[in-house]
A and B are shown apart, each in its own frame.
Chain A
Amino acid sequence: MRRADSVSHAAPPPPLRSEPPTGVQGYAASARRLCRRAPLPQHPRERSRESGACPTTLTFEQPRLDGSVKQTHRLEVIAEEDTETEQEPEQEPEQEPEQGPEQGPDPADDDLYDADECGRYGMWDKVGLGVELPTNEPYVLVAEKKGGTFGSGGEMALMGLPDEKEMSAPVSTFQRFSVESNESLRFEPYIPSDEEEPGQLRQQSGKTVYDEDVFEEEPRTGGTGGRGDSDPAGGGAAEAPADGDESEAADVFCTECMTPKTPLEPHKNHRVIQIPKAAMEIKDDLCAKMRKLEEQIAQMENFAGHLEEIFITVEENFGRQEQNLEQHYNDVIQTLTQRYDDRASGLEEEKKVKLQTLYTQLVDCGKTLDVSKELIEAAQEVHRNEDKLAFLQAVIPTIDRIEDFTKEELDLKLAATMEFENSAVDLSDVKQMMESINIVPAPSAPVINPQVPNSAGSTSVRVCWSLFSDDTVEYYELHYRPVLEDTTAEEPPPEESKVKVKETYRTVTDLLPNAQYEFWVTATNTTGISPPSEKAVYMTVPSPPVIKPRECASCPSAALIRWESGNTNPVDSYTVELSETDEETSDAITESIVAVPTCECLVQLQPGRRYCFSVRAVNIGGPSERSHPVTVHTTGTFFHLLEDTAHPCLSISEDGFTMFYGDEDIPISAMMFSDNTFAQCVAVLGELIPVRGRHYWEVEVEDHTEFRIGVAYQDTQRNGYLGGNNTSWCMRHVVTPSRHKYEFLHNGWTQDIRITINPHRIGVSLDYDTGKLSFFNAVLSQHLYTFDCHFLRYVHPCFALDHPGALTVHNGIEAPDYVHYA
């Protein structure tokens, strides 16, 4: 029932070709609504203001709030979409009887529906959009549904129409317009074009696109709840007005007037574009502006943060300075007081001494006067004495006494001066103190930091230290000297270098890689030099390792990378970095293997890829530069020959893959044998990656080359022949006068086998899992022989020439499919 309904519902032609502007108005209205709603959630701002946060922070937040408002809008839209999607099918059937019979556009009817619907359900009132509401999400969905129904209904399929999938493609929104006109057969994606006559198709298609736009971007334009409620009553009819609205929407936008216009209105010479396009453009513009604002906000936030920091620093500095000042002034005042006290007491003392002296002198003076007076009295008495004799008798002693007395010179000099000594006062110390109020004391020893990981280069280290926060430092002197590990006591320590630094860090250059240096630092200011810091040992990073490509091996599932340290001193570890380099552009490291203790690393890989490997050496100072990279293809197994196993008669080409057994006889005495070289069989081993699984390689031989190729344990007997023991398996080619003989040898035994075509390119497939070693004529894809042997240990490819000749190993070849049928 429903299916039939919806089919006929698809039939109604677009009633919608007239009055496009209504849709535009609706759009504008909803846009206004958005504008109105946007500033609504202001309360968070106020709230935060109350909370006492920095006002600047608040202003930063405001645009974000707006943004979040928009987001909620979008969310609502999405929710709406869902509900309407669900409702839509229910609405279809009811609609059908009304629309089905209609053969042409009937705007009047549509208008009627519009008014009717909106009046009845008050759907749009809330937003004040009235009938013009352009949201036609339900409509779009209906159309799509119809497309689907057509296909599944079978009628269209019988007509040879495109299948259901095509029908329900996005463009299917057009189909319903064209059922009677057979236009649905054309699935032309609509391309809005300015030149196009504002014809039917254009309007419709333009509208559809526009509607979808609205659907995605517009905030809610219709009351979902209202619609949902109305459903049981007659919700199906609600679809029709929606259709009508859609058709009446304006479909062009004049970029010069910046207004949506009908195409009929004259905008000659104006750039006119489709509404959706215009909306998109302006939206983009708006987005760009918002982005700009967001950037500014970010900048301002940063700046504010910075200011805050500075604010705190100023506070700190002030505190320090104030404390400093106070201390110094106290010192000076104390000193001066001391000085004053000293000097005042000195003066007192001096006064005392002076007065004492003067007093003594005065007393002495008085005594002398008394004596003089007494003598005068005695002389007068004698002089008055009439008795000459008595006078004479008495005068002599008196005269003696006077003479004695006068003999003593009178000391009339002042014993003490009236002036006080004005001794020069030495205030230089005070002066210095006064001066030193403005300089801080000599700094204390800075604290040198231990080396920060990953801070060093191969010839440089970054040394950091700190000072006590009270200290003021004009500059630092960074001292360093290499730490020699093997220094004996007698040798003079290596010369030290020093460098003046203003900052509390320094990148010291021109050092040796992977070497230890001892650093210490002193701080200096106008007052003086600090004691040296503790000594710290820093290390430069190692030189980059050197990958040894000839010793690397790979297979589809793994690679074995080997390298040389590149450093004389040991390093802590290595880091292997690998990246997939399918696109030449990507240089990103996709994987790192850290803390590799030795100079080799086996890495699991994905088959059929191309990887770029590089290695870094790491010590406490950090990682070295990357080594030169090597590229590994995981298409096939790749190995190199172990040239140190090669028989002395076997020479190996430059590229390492072709071996020659020359004609000339080398005297045995001239041959250099080691424990590892093959001594009997003119053979060499290849080094296969130690990974189980399947390996494949090929060997190219001449028609008459007498060879043995196969695999052997690494310790296979060097004085035996390959295949002649139980540690090797090989295919052997022998040229007899009558024929070419092929043997598949293990432990001296061979399968009796005849091969009619001499293989010139032999594929060797080694499968550890199934324990099979197979040989193929790679040119013919012909299976030659398979050894069933369960390898207990890893084996290596082996190659031997029984007679002078050459053979070439071909590596890194993807195993052909036919090896699975071996």
Chain B
Amino acid sequence: MWPQGVRRIKAAEASKAMALTQVSSNKCCGGFQKVFEHNSSELKCRMKFGIYLPPKAESSKCPVLYWLSGLTCTEQNFITKAGAQQAASEHGLIIVAPDTSPRGCNIEGEDESWDFGTGAGFYVNATDEPWKANYRMYAYVTEELPRLINAHFPADPEKMSISGHSMGGHGALICALKNPGKYKSVSAFAPICNPMQCAWGQKAFGGYLGSDKTAWEAYDATVLAGSYAGPQLDILIDQGRDDQFLSAGQLLPDNLIAACTEKKIPVVFRLQQGYDHSYFFIFSFINDHIKHHGKYLNA
């Protein structure tokens, strides 16, 4: 006990750089829904994230589900609208919901449009100026944030999964496809499946990654699926049939399905009749997704 305690204290001292500030804490479904703020080394700005700690986390380490939100979202959207806490409490999952981009970096043009810059990090590591210093959301969600979570919360570092909505769905898919084995499972709501082929993606990738489309391929789920080699994934995708972005050709799930069919990557894609792109749609099926992750995280 004693040496461990010492070690813990030392670790805490050593990681003062990773210090967290609690922004809010609310009891929820037996556990706690909290928001923390910290200085991100990847993004070089203050970042907030929401974290739900299930009751089980009080006594043992829990698996972590990372939720990547969509365009324009902050850490608040998911924790206030998705209603994931009940299922997370039941399955003993920690859910971490980070913000969608760096904020307040004072980069020129970052607040000009809703689908680029602030609130639209697209989960890539930007390579082009002026974005490349701060817009490293891919590194943030796959490296820095998990490290932070594992250090400060009763998280089982071996068990993490990822999910997301829209742009976040794209983020979840590329994180899983680019890091075979890192995530036990992946799911998505109305993901941008093939950003290279849609207006959102082309705008974002062009801005963050430059005009060389081969660099884009590293962040395109459909392209990544075509070259995926690693432990078997089980991808669950829900898509509202009345989603205006589906009909607008921003999401392109058929391309991903075709690639996965080709590469024999198991996907269950459910086209949900009457649902749109909103959090009402997410709320309706979040339980299925929590279960889907619970199946692999609690196995």
* Stretch from B17-25, B75-83, B215-223, B287-295 contacting the other chain: B287-295
Q: Are A821 and B241 interface neighbours, CB within 8 A?
A: no
Q: Are B273 and A752 interface neighbours, CB within 8 A?
A: yes
| Known contacts A783-B292, A821-B292: A777-B273 contact under CB 8 Å | no
Would you call A754 an interface residue if the criterion is a C-beta within 8 Å of the partner chain's C-beta atoms? Answer: yes
Q: Are A780 and B261 interface neighbours, CB within 8 A?
A: no
Would you call A335 an interface residue if the criterion is a C-beta within 8 Å of the partner chain's C-beta atoms? Answer: no
Q: Are A818 and B295 interface neighbours, CB within 8 A?
A: yes
Q: Are B271 and A782 interface neighbours, CB within 8 A?
A: no
Q: Are A753 and B234 interface neighbours, CB within 8 A?
A: no
Point out the residue from A739, A781, A782, A821 that lies within 8 Å of B268, measured CB to CB.
A782
- Nearest residue in A to B91 (C-beta to C-beta)? A821
Residues of chain A in range 787-822 having any CB-CB distance to chain B below 8 Å:
817-818, 820-822
Q: Are B295 and A753 interface neighbours, CB within 8 A?
A: no
- Nearest residue in B to A818 (C-beta to C-beta)? B295
Interface string of A627-642 (1 = CB under 8 A from B): 0000000000000000
Point out the residue from B265, B268, B292 that lies within 8 Å of A753, measured CB to CB.
B268
Residues of chain B in range 252-299 having any CB-CB distance to chain A below 8 Å:
257, 260-261, 264-273, 291-292, 294-295, 298-299
Greatest chain B CB density within 10 A among A751, A755, A777, A780 is at A755
Point out the residue from B260, B292, B299 that lies within 8 Å of A756, measured CB to CB.
B260
Q: For the complex, give the distance between the alpha carbons of A281 and B134 in Å.
A: 87
Would you call B232 an interface residue if the criterion is a C-beta within 8 Å of the partner chain's C-beta atoms? Answer: yes
Would you call A784 an interface residue if the criterion is a C-beta within 8 Å of the partner chain's C-beta atoms? Answer: yes
Give min CB distance, A750 to chain B, whole Å: 10
Q: Are A756 and B266 interface neighbours, CB within 8 A?
A: yes
Give min CB distance, A776 to chain B, whole Å: 10
| Known contacts A754-B271, A756-B257: A780-B291 contact under CB 8 Å | no
Residues of chain B in range 186-236 having any CB-CB distance to chain A below 8 Å:
232, 234, 236
CB neighbours of A780 from chain B (8 A) = 232, 234, 266
Q: For the complex, give the distance between the alpha carbons of A753 and B285 in Å.
A: 14
CB neighbours of A757 from chain B (8 A) = 261, 264-267
CB neighbours of B299 from chain A (8 A) = 817-818
Give min CB distance, A225 to chain B, whole Å: 48
Q: Are B232 and A754 interface neighbours, CB within 8 A?
A: no
CB neighbours of A752 from chain B (8 A) = 241, 270-273
- Nearest residue in A to B291 (C-beta to C-beta)? A821
Q: Are B291 and A753 interface neighbours, CB within 8 A?
A: no
Residues of chain A in range 751-770 having any CB-CB distance to chain B below 8 Å:
751-757
Residues of chain A in range 479-493 having any CB-CB distance to chain B below 8 Å:
none
Q: Are B257 and A754 interface neighbours, CB within 8 A?
A: yes
Q: Are B270 and A756 interface neighbours, CB within 8 A?
A: no
Q: For the complex, give the distance between the alpha carbons of A757 and B268 in Å.
A: 9
CB neighbours of A781 from chain B (8 A) = 234, 295
Give min CB distance, B218 to chain A, whole Å: 22
B interface secondary structure, majority: mixed
Q: For the complex, give the distance between the alpha carbons of A783 and B235 in Å.
A: 10
CB neighbours of A785 from chain B (8 A) = 268
- Nearest residue in B to A819 (C-beta to C-beta)? B295
Q: Are A753 and B232 interface neighbours, CB within 8 A?
A: no
Give min CB distance, A169 to chain B, whole Å: 26
Q: Are B295 and A821 interface neighbours, CB within 8 A?
A: yes
Q: For the complex, give the distance between the alpha carbons of A784 and B295 in Å.
A: 13
Point out the residue from A754, A782, A817, A821 that lies within 8 Å of B269, measured CB to CB.
A754
Q: Are B273 and A782 interface neighbours, CB within 8 A?
A: no
CB neighbours of B272 from chain A (8 A) = 752
Q: For the complex, give the distance between the alpha carbons of A821 and B288 in Å.
A: 9
- Nearest residue in B to A754 (C-beta to C-beta)? B269
Q: For the complex, give the distance between the alpha carbons of A756 and B266 in Å.
A: 6
Q: Are A753 and B261 interface neighbours, CB within 8 A?
A: no
Q: Are B268 and A784 interface neighbours, CB within 8 A?
A: yes
Q: Are B267 and A755 interface neighbours, CB within 8 A?
A: yes
- Nearest residue in B to A752 (C-beta to C-beta)? B271
Q: Are A821 and B294 interface neighbours, CB within 8 A?
A: yes
Q: For the complex, give the distance between the alpha carbons of A751 and B270 in Å.
A: 7
CB neighbours of A820 from chain B (8 A) = 295
| Known contacts A752-B241, A756-B260, A756-B261: A783-B295 contact under CB 8 Å | yes
Q: Are A753 and B269 interface neighbours, CB within 8 A?
A: yes
Greatest chain B CB density within 10 A among A739, A780, A785, A821 is at A821
Interface string of B91-127 (1 = CB under 8 A from A): 0000000000000000000000000000000000000
| Known contacts A752-B270, A755-B267, A821-B295: A782-B234 contact under CB 8 Å | yes
Interface string of B48-91 (1 = CB under 8 A from A): 00000000000000000000000000000000000000000000
CB neighbours of B265 from chain A (8 A) = 756-757
**Known contacts A751-B270, A756-B267, A780-B266; can you find 15 more A-B pairs with CB under 8 A?**
A751-B271, A754-B257, A755-B267, A756-B261, A756-B264, A756-B266, A757-B265, A780-B234, A782-B234, A782-B268, A783-B236, A785-B268, A818-B295, A818-B299, A821-B294
Q: Give chain A's interface residues, CB within 8 Å of chain B.
A: 739, 751-757, 777, 780-785, 817-818, 820-822
Closest 4 CB pairs of A and B: A821-B295, A752-B271, A754-B269, A756-B267
Q: Give chain B's interface residues, CB within 8 Å of chain A.
A: 232, 234, 236, 241, 257, 260-261, 264-273, 291-292, 294-295, 298-299
25 example contacts (A-B, Cβ-Cβ < 8 A) are as follows: A739-B261, A751-B271, A752-B270, A753-B269, A754-B268, A755-B267, A755-B268, A755-B269, A756-B257, A756-B261, A756-B264, A756-B266, A756-B267, A756-B269, A757-B261, A777-B266, A780-B266, A781-B295, A782-B268, A783-B236, A783-B268, A783-B295, A817-B299, A818-B299, A820-B295
